[in-house]
């Protein structure tokens, strides 16, 4: 069962996305801000991180840069999630080290496709075992 770290400060987004992923067989860990996201990623070494970019303490770009600079977490795929839909936001996320990018409102099938691609590339199972 792939372990996903969801770093998201919005309570409804956390609740909704974690429940939908759990229903598809993913184990979902939760962090409510950027600093906790980095700490939890270092402690739990999840298979993939879904990173909101507008976060308290440190934002998603800084958190991603920290994760990609650390040997233990640099290979964990990070998908940036943001409600900003400008092309510069995507470029900014990729520059910070994010492996992919998706916009809110989340279209789950699209996001699952990106997750499965990255999980496959990183050597994990491409999707959850149901």
Partner 1 sequence: MSELPKPIEERIQHFLPRNLLHDLRTPLGHILGYSELLIEQMQESGHEEFIPHLEKIRKAGRELVVMMSENFKSK
The answer to whether 42 and 29 have CB atoms below 8 angstroms apart is no
Q: What is the DSSP code string of 62-77? A: HHHHHHHHSTTTTTS-
Task: Pick one of 43, 70, 72, 86: the residue that binds partner 1 (CB under 8 A).
Answer: 86
Under the binding rule (CB under 8 A), the answer on residue 108 touching partner 1 is: yes
CA distances from 85 to 14, 49, 61 (A): 20, 20, 15
Which parts of 37-56 interact with partner 1 (CB under 8 A)?
A: 54
Under the binding rule (CB under 8 A), the answer on residue 106 touching partner 1 is: yes
Output b/e per residue, 38-51; b: 16+ Cβ within 10 A. Answer: bebbeeeebbbbbb
Task: Pick one of 45, 72, 84, 95: the residue that binds partner 1 (CB under 8 A).
Answer: 84
CB of 125 to partner 1, least distance (A): 22
Under the binding rule (CB under 8 A), the answer on residue 130 touching partner 1 is: no
Under the binding rule (CB under 8 A), the answer on residue 80 touching partner 1 is: no
| Binding-residue total with partner 1 (CB under 8 A) | 20
Which parts of 10-29 interact with partner 1 (CB under 8 A)?
A: 10, 12-13, 16-17, 19-20, 23
β-bridge partners, 80: 51, 101
Which of 26, 29, 21 is CA-nearest to residue 45?
Answer: 29
Point out which residues bind partner 1 (CB under 8 A).
Answer: 10, 12-13, 16-17, 19-20, 23, 54, 83-88, 103-106, 108
């Amino acid at each position: 069962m792939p372990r996903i770290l969801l770093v998201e400060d919005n309570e409804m987004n956390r609740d909704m996305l974690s429940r939908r992923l759990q229903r598809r067989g993913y184990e979902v860990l939760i962090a409510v801000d950027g600093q906790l996201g980095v700490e939890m990623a270092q402690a739990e070494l999840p298979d993939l991180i879904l990173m909101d970019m507008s976060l308290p303490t440190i934002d998603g770009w800084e958190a991603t840069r920290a994760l990609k600079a650390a040997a233990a977490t640099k290979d964990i795929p990070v998908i940036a999630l943001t409600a900003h839909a400008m092309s510069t936001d995507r470029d900014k996320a990729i520059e910070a080290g994010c492996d992919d990018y998706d916009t809110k409102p989340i279209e789950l099938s699209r996001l699952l496709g990106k997750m499965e691609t990255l999980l496959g590339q990183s050597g994990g199972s491409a999707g959850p075992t149901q």
